[in-house]
Structure 1
Amino acid sequence: MFSGSIPALITPFRDGAVDEAAFRAFVDWQIGEGSSALVPCGTTGESATMTVEEHNRVIAICVDQAAGRVPVIAGCGSNDTRIALEHMFAAQAAGADAALVVAPYYNKPNQEGVYRHFAHLAERCSLPIILYNVPSRTITDIGVPVIHRLSEEFQTIVGIKDATGNLGRVAAQRLACRADFCQLSGNDETALGFNAMGGKGCISVTANVAPRLCAEFQQATENGDWDGALALQDRLYPLHDALFSDASPGPVKYALTRVRPDMPGDVRLPITWPSESSRAAVDRALEIAGLV
């Protein structure tokens, strides 16, 4: 259902509010540069510091501006199962194509609790679900047996964004799940190996800044052009690294002000503007990538 380069979109803020005009222009740019789908209200979109009204509005804007040109995968995660379901209903009403739902964080449920969280959502809302496994942020892992169980029992659980950094999981999950279960990398720096192991794309941070290069990289892997993909990986790797040289999405927003001067760089606390050393790393990486 989903493949290629899929940016986890930043949310542009100006003077404390969502800058709707800048966001619409950003969506158009992403589609024009070759992004194959869009993810509003993920971690990179600072969903954790949005009100419910802002969250729903940003998804609605994204769907409206995309206008069916590419799918919209709405960030709908919460550590409260009831709130995640409310997010899914709102995203479905807005016209989103799928929900990206992170493992419950902070609560630290056991594996049965993780299973029941996603089962509860799938049983009550028909919007397709992409699981999001990022233990470095959530502490909670979605274990392979749980992924297998969910993929077999619920046809609307269609794939996973895997940000474990463990490439062995790609093979384990591919063997454990139904044939059409889609695996998307959650880490730009390992996306080459991820696709070689059977992945179909990446929900990407770097694609915010370099959408065309990321789309070309994903197309090269799909075509089996591994030499071309490796050359693009080498060109992009310093940027993959620099965008996490300080708390994300600070470096991403700084990079966008260099690439697209019309984009505001405001972040919301507790995220801060990146350090001088981080900005210098981003500047070097943008030059290596040929983006400035």
Structure 2
Amino acid sequence: MFSGCSTAIITPMKADGAIDEEGLRELVKFQEENGVKTIVPCGSTGESATLSYEEHLQVIKIVVDAAQKAKVMAGAGSNSTSEALELSKAAEDIGADSLLSITPYYNKPTAKGVRLHFEKIAAAIEIPVIVYNIPSRTGMNISADLMLELAKIPGIAGVKEASGNLNQIAKIAALAPKDFCVLSGDDALTLPAMAVGAQGAISVSSNITPAKVVRMIEEMLKGNVQQAREINQELMPLYEALFLETNPIPIKTAMRLAGHPAGPLRLPLCDMDEKNEERLKSVLAQQGLL
């Protein structure tokens, strides 16, 4: 269910800041037509931090309803265990196939607190949970040893690893149960992460070039490393350009420039610096995406 390419989809918005439902449906269709296996709404790329609770569920409902072939992995984490439980149950009731649950951020719990947090969530729902480890946003890293403990919890099915630490990813992939799925959370590290045992990625760049990212990951899964490396090298300028500023500022800008539904960002995220936008536009043109 989890191997292959998953897209951390943007949340398109109208000029007044409301959720662009038709635009989101169009984006889901675009992803499915290009072979993306799983759609991930309400992650960091989907601006979940500035969605209200009602909007969060609205976005998940739209994606679940729009998806005809792809699975839906709904972002449903929080720094409050009770809020994460509420979101998780609601996403399950809506029809999500699995959940992406971020490490509790800001309050920096101990290893025991992290374990109890995920135990409680996994025990409360029937669908699988993917742990989202992204220390750059949460202020703490889930170590390989702690992740291996979490991997033993029934219902914890995998991890989106965005620590940037290949040694950590390799250790988890080598020592976790066979049915525990390791997914890259960094586009630029997807190929090396898969070389050490990851089974795919939850990608930002696949928003705008899904077919190419899908192909690169599939080649790696087949063991065609040279073919995957060639595609990855083609994509490297795009990976860099999409992180010139805080995600999802560049990808949402890129989608707008390429004619896809995107709309404005919500404060405190704001428009790209003009020089960075010009650099991004140049890369998009070189990639044939404009």
Give the TM-score of the pair, scaled to structure 2: 0.97
SS in 1 for 2:32: helix
In structure 2, distance between residues paired with 1:7 and 1:283: 21
Alignment: residue pair count: 289
String of CA shifts for 1:167-205, please: whole Å, max 9, x gaps: 111221123311110000000001110011111111011
Q: Which amino acid aligns with 1:23?
A: L
Identity %: 40
Structure 2 counterpart of 1:290: 288
Q: What is the root-mean-square deviation in Å for CA atoms of aligned residues?
A: 1.1
Structure 1 counterpart of 2:187: 188
> Relative to structure 1, is the Cα distance of residues 239 and 122 closer, same or farther in structure 2, using a 3 angstrom cutoff?
same
Structure 2 counterpart of 1:28: 29
In structure 1, distance between residues paired with 2:34 and 2:127: 27
Structure 2 counterpart of 1:214: 213
- Aligned ranges for residues 56-205 of structure 1 at < 5 Å? 56-67=57-68, 69-154=69-154, 156-205=155-204
Q: Which amino acid aligns with 1:278?
A: N
In structure 2, distance between residues paired with 1:284 and 1:5: 26
User: For the Cα contact (< 8 Å) 1:133–1:160, is it kept in 2?
Assistant: yes
Q: Which amino acid aligns with 1:12?
A: P
Q: Shift of residue 230 of structure 1? A: 1.2
In structure 2, distance between residues paired with 1:144 and 1:52: 32
Structure 2 counterpart of 1:253: 252
SS in 1 for 2:130: strand
String of CA shifts for 1:109-163, please: whole Å, max 9, x gaps: 1111111110111122222100000011101211222222222232x11000000
User: For the Cα contact (< 8 Å) 1:88–1:127, is it kept in 2?
Assistant: no
User: For the Cα contact (< 8 Å) 2:170–2:193, is it kept in 1?
Assistant: no
User: For the Cα contact (< 8 Å) 2:169–2:193, is it kept in 1?
Assistant: yes
Structure 1 counterpart of 2:46: 45
In structure 2, distance between residues paired with 1:203 and 1:25: 20
SS in 2 for 1:92: helix
In structure 2, distance between residues paired with 1:288 and 1:231: 16
Q: Shift of residue 244 of structure 1? A: 1.0
Q: Which moved more, 1:188-197 or 1:116-125?
A: 116-125
Give the TM-score of the pair, scaled to structure 1: 0.96
Q: Which moved more, 1:277-286 or 1:162-171?
A: 277-286
User: For the Cα contact (< 8 Å) 2:10–2:262, is it kept in 1?
Assistant: no
User: For the Cα contact (< 8 Å) 2:144–2:169, is it kept in 1?
Assistant: no
Q: Where do 5+ consecutive residues of structure 1 fail to align?
A: none
Q: Shift of residue 262 of structure 1? A: 4.5
Q: Shift of residue 289 of structure 1? A: 2.1
SS in 1 for 2:183: strand
Structure 1 counterpart of 2:268: 270
User: For the Cα contact (< 8 Å) 1:247–1:274, is it kept in 2?
Assistant: no
Q: Where do 5+ consecutive residues of structure 2 fail to align?
A: none
